[in-house]
Copies of this chain bind each other. A is one copy, B any other.
Amino acid sequence: MGKQESNVDRVYEALRQMAADFAFMPDQRINESELSKQLGASRTPLREALNRLVAEGFLTFQNNRGFFCRSLTPKYIQDLYGARVAVECEALRLSCVRATDSEIAALGAYLEQTEPVYETATDSGEQLTMDEAFHMRLVQLSGNAELERMLRNLNDRIRYIRLIDLKRMRDKSGARVPGELSVHSRILLGLAGRDAVAADAAMRGHIEKRREAATEAVQIAFSQLYVPQD
C-alpha cells in the first residue's frame, strides 16, 4: 500500500493549519498562484482545498475576487465560545445518561495522568493540546458524532485566541491551590455522579470564564499579528 493520503488532503491540512494560525492575516486576500507554488501543487487541487475551508468557516469567498481569510473580531470569537457552550454542555448532558462507568473512569485516569504535566508545563501549545484533548474525549462520551464534528471545527477556529488567553492566564495567576479541585475534575465529578445539572453548571462556568477574557485576547492577537515583536 502506497500513499493513502491524496495531494488535496495534504494541501488541505496545510492550509487548515495556516488558517488556524492566522498565517493569512484577517481579511487578507489569498493569492492562488503564489500559494500553489509555496505548497508545491497546481491551482486546481489548491482551489478544491480552499473551497472546503470556506465551507468550514476558515475562509470566505467572493466571486471573481477569490478567497479571503476570515476576519477576526470580538463578536466572531464570542460567537464561537457561545457555540462551544451549546455543543459541550449538551454533550455532557447526554454523557450523564449514556456513558458507562468504565468510560468515565478511563477519562478520570487520563485527567489524573495529564494534570500534573499540565500544571508544570512551560509550553502553552502543549497545554492547549491537552486541554482540547480532554474536551474532545468528553464530547466523544456523548456518542454523538455530529457534536464531535462541531467541536473539532470550533476548536480549530478558536485555537489562536485560546493560546493567547492561556499564556496570559499563566502569567497573571499563580499556580492552582494544591488540594483544590481543577475545573476539569469538577466537570468529571458531576458526570460520574450522573448529576447533569452540576456538570452543566461547571462546564458552562468554565467556558464562560474564558469567553469573558477572550475580547482582551483578540486585542492582543491583533497587536501580535500586525506588529510582530521578533
Which A positions have Cβ atoms within 8 angstroms of B? 4-6, 8-9, 44, 47-49, 51-57, 63-64, 75-76, 79-80, 82-83, 85-87, 89-91, 94, 142, 144-147, 149-150, 154
Contacts and interface: CB of A to CB of B under 8 A. Distances in A.
A205 to B, nearest CB: 14
A6 B54 contact: no
B48 A83 contact: no
Nearest to A82: B144
Interface of A is mostly: helix
Nearest to A63: B6
Copies per complex of this chain = 2
Nearest to A147: B83
Nearest to A55: B55
Contacts of A55: 51-56
A38 B69 CA distance: 33
A149 to B, nearest CB: 7
B52 A83 contact: no
A165 B37 CA distance: 51
A5 B80 contact: no
Given A4-B63, A63-B6, A90-B89, A82 B146 contact: yes
Given A47-B48, A82-B90, 6 more contacts: A51-B51, A57-B146, A82-B142, A86-B89, A86-B147, A90-B90
A45 to B, nearest CB: 9
A-B pairs, top 10 by smallest CB distance, nearest first, are A86-B90, A55-B55, A6-B63, A83-B146, A52-B55, A79-B146, A51-B51, A48-B51, A82-B144, A79-B144
Nearest to A83: B146
A122 to B, nearest CB: 33
A63 B8 CA distance: 9
11 contacts: A8-B51, A48-B48, A48-B51, A51-B52, A52-B52, A57-B149, A75-B145, A82-B144, A83-B144, A86-B89, A150-B150
